[in-house]
Structure 1
Amino acid sequence: MSEFIRFDKTDDLTVIYVNGEVDLSNSAEVRKTILAALKTTPEVKVDLSGVEYIDSSGIAAMVEGLQFANSNGRSFSLTQPSAQVKSIMELARLDQVFTIE
């Protein structure tokens, strides 16, 4: 587990905190962390307040988490996206696809 991802886990909820940039070099780690959390807890939230930049591979990791959650009766949401991430999500109209808190 690298320093750019950390998480808090209870029986009912895992909150994943991502920091820095999410791009092709590390999006696979984000994806694995999200999917592992979704397999072990009914609700997963990804806190994006520390993310300065996210590229299409990072977005794809989030979309895959959402699809897994929807297919398996789990809850998946994004919380506190930074201004940069929020604008990218809005540009791609993903703010209409994800639950963003």
Structure 2
Amino acid sequence: MSIKSHLSEVEQKLTISISGRFDFSAHQEFRNAYESLPVAPSQFVVDLDGANYLDSSALGMLLLLRDHAGGNSADIEIVNCSPDVKKILTISNFEQLFTIR
């Protein structure tokens, strides 16, 4: 499991890239990716291109990110999902809370 983040200061967009298993073992690293920034981004992108597994704790972490980013007014995209990961997000009705591409 690996989590990398990149803040585009011009666009005020934070991209969090996740590879491997996205589960409870990623909790602290995932939170650090968005909580320890000097500037609050206006847009978030969670790139799951390298994620091959996602469990209920990962869904909870995405909800915590949403709360941190402003709840209903949050601008968060989840991108590059594998078919299996996208199915989990769809079954969980996350397309109503996030933009999934």
Shift of 1:6: 1.3
Shift of 1:71: 4.5
CA distance in 1: counterparts of 2:96 and 2:3, whole angstroms:
25
Structure 1 residue runs without a partner (length 5+): none
Would the aligned equivalents of 1:35 and 1:65 in 2 still touch at CA under 8 Å?
A: no
Name segments (4+ residues, structure 1) moved above 3 Å.
34-37, 71-74
| Aligned residues with identical type, % of pairs | 26
CA distance in 2: counterparts of 1:74 and 1:97, whole angstroms:
9
Deviations along 1:39-79, one digit per CA (max 9) or x if unpaired, are: 53211111011111111111111011112212496522211
TM-score (norm 2): 0.81
Q: 1:89 to 1:50 in 2, by over 3 A?
A: same
Would the aligned equivalents of 2:4 and 2:33 in 1 still touch at CA under 8 Å?
A: no
TM-score (norm 1): 0.81
The alignment yields a C-alpha RMSD, in angstroms, of 2.2
Would the aligned equivalents of 1:31 and 1:62 in 2 still touch at CA under 8 Å?
A: no
SS in 2 for 1:40: coil
**1:36-75 correspondence runs (5 A):** 36=36, 40-71=40-71, 74-75=74-75
Shift of 1:10: 1.4
CA distance in 2: counterparts of 1:97 and 1:14, whole angstroms:
18
Q: 1:83 to 1:35 in 2, by over 3 A?
A: farther
Aligned residue pair count: 98
Structure 2 residue runs without a partner (length 5+): none
Q: 1:72 to 1:10 in 2, by over 3 A?
A: farther
